[in-house]
Amino acid sequence: MALLEILEYPDPRLRTEAQPIARFDKALQKQIDDMFETMYQAPGIGLAATQVNYHHQLIVIDISDDQKSPLVLINPKIVKKEGVEEREEGCLSFPGVYAKVQRADRVTVEALDRNGQPFTLEADELLAVCIQHEIDHIEGRLFVDYLSPLKRERIKKKLKKLNKGR
């Protein structure tokens, strides 16, 4: 396995719309494993392929404390949303940045697993938020898109300042 570079805002590649996955081969399995390793190392609870410059509809998630509940979503589609919740979100592409974002509290998602088998998942609370956040990534949207222009500008300035220190 290998650690992948996580693209950071305002990298324009983060706005790329990901393509559906049709081939479930060894290269895809390695990409999934590398994404989990990268996410755990970061550390994070979700990572979309777009964030590691792999522009296919692939998401890895693990919201467990012990990193023993890996979830792979390939070509995911949200088919139902319910409720509204506001929760503070962070993002591996926005190191050190957190902001309150309003999203659905419950979602039903249809996806393929790492072997191409279809499944349906009903999720709520943190998992629902994480799924919505990561699906946004593969659609070229970022969590800051839900914020006011003023808040987005503050975040951009903060990240520029942090990057100068590297």
Residue 119 burial (10 A CB sphere; 0-12, 13-18, 19+): exposed
Q: Which of 122, 134, 139, 153 is catalytic?
A: 134
Give the C-alpha separation, 124 to 111, whole Å: 16
Verify whether residue 17 is a known catalytic residue.
no
Residues 6+ apart with CB under 8 A from 108: 78, 79, 80, 120, 121, 122, 123
Query: How many angstroms separate the CA atoms of 29 and 96, rounded?
Result: 30
Active site residues: 134
